[in-house]
Structure 1
């Protein structure tokens, strides 16, 4: 085997590239290849630590992830899962331990789609201009395709799922507001549709806004159809009915009213009342 020349360091292997996909179809990709997990416990440990970037103690992991007490037998199970996780990802520091607290390496956490989502959302909140904010929101939502870890169950994953879903909804609603202010009605309506798809219980005021947007961009029939689907969802999933404001709005739309604050058909004297209807209606139950 050839030896390196005196004074020269031996060549080092290029760093591995990681991509953690947690939204939609979950996958862990190392240098372009999906990893094959030797045991489900190793994969579960990865995603549990991913959902808790601040780290967790061993007894919290055993209880929260597998419903186990911290005993010698379960501690060994944890050590085996940890070893398999590190070996599968090809780096001993994939999981860090400090004073008994275990956390995913920051580089691995930063390689995930949810990290990209929240980073872009944070940047958009600090943006000074609407167009820059819009671009940042588009970047954030481009990373948000599907439910968080749909193949896993448990209270811990449901809590994380709710958090990430709320972030996606926030992005779509903010994007809709930006498009509405710029009078880009079709884009405003599309963002509202996507917010409602991500979480039908986004708040009844947003469903009212969507009904108005559909009236302006399509026709009253599209708005009434959305109202009927929303009413059916409330009855079937929540056991509730729409607020009276929403019922009244549906009747107004049926009567060919176009209560949009940006519509040329709205008399100037009614703008304030319509702002209260479309933008300040109480949140849905």
Structure 2
């Protein structure tokens, strides 16, 4: 068996679920962790695919200095992790930097998500981009590692959330360009649900989409919820342009820029 086919076979045995319902499966069976520290080490290294040094791992994961005692704790957690996964090479060390094996990284749902997002960015075909984005976002349900806490996991969550939001915003633009208004509104709603602090221009687009695809009451309801969020979570108010758009929608005076462009061409 070649190294390439052997790697594919190994990846096929493993599945790392990091979004929503967290699990590590080997041949369809969930891994039973001998200690929480072994599982924490796995997900820490998953969050840093480029690898980390031992002193970083000890400090950021367990709040420990790099002493003899803490170094021993690290060695025990590392041994348990490798044993639980049945792979002595599950974690690779090179020049003091520890990384999760590439096969294990490639077996995770977040890897599939970011691969599909990257492929969509490289495609010049609108329908192909849409297909790739839908494929990626279908696997993006749920928070990243919701059972863990710490600055390191919060940073990783923010990165994954930003990628998902960017995917939904791109998808909404593709639907807008194709004048598929209900689908554009749906994608914008998902983006705002994942991150209410997306640019205010996107909330304005969503208000217009809702007014066009549902009714003005749905658009104004979104505006009111957004205004409430800003007031109570951020201590701010909507931009003047957003307030003016809300007033126009109340009067029934609104239109979509893509529809306006299409009407002008006709």
**Correspondence 1:135-174 to 2 at 5 A:** 135-174=131-170
* Structure 2 residue 66 is the aligned partner of structure 1 residue 67: no
Partner of 2:3: none
Please point out which of 193, 196, 214 is paired with 1:197: 193
Secondary structure at the residue paired with 1:48? helix
Query: Does residue 1:23 correspond to 2:19, yes or no?
Result: yes
1:262 is displaced (CA, Å) by 3.3
Say whether 1:96 aligns with 2:113: no
Greater gyration radius:
1
**Aligned 8 A contact 1:23 1:146 in 2:** yes
Contact 2:179–2:259 under 8 Å retained in 1: no
Q: CA-to-partner distance for each residue in 1:193-246, whole Å, 9 max, x for gaps? A: 000000000110000000000000000000000000001111111111111110
Q: Summarize deviations over 1:13-55 as a string: whole Å, max 9, x none.
A: x746111111111111111011111111000000000000011
Contact 1:137–1:171 (Cα < 8 Å) also in 2: yes
Whole-angstrom CA distance in 2 between matches of 1:148 and 1:240: 28
* TM-score normalised to structure 2 length: 0.93
Distance 1:55 1:179 in 2: 38
Distance 1:262 1:174 in 2: 15
More helix by share: 2
CA drift of 1:258 comes to 2.1
| Separation (CA, whole Å) in 1 of partners of 2:200 and 2:82 | 46
Q: Using a 3 Å threshold, how does the CA distance of structure 1 residues 121 and 267 change in structure 2: closer, same or farther?
A: closer
Unaligned runs of 5+ in 1: 1-11, 269-285
Matched, 1:40 2:36: yes
1:265 CA displacement: 11
Q: Which runs of 4+ in 1 moved over 2 A?
A: 262-268
TM-score by length of 1: 0.87
Preserved contact between residue 258 and residue 265 of structure 1 (Cα < 8 Å):
no
CA apart distance, 1:266 = 10
How far off is 1:175 after superposition? 0.3
Match of 2:178 among 177, 182, 206: 182
Distance 2:92 2:262 in 1: 61
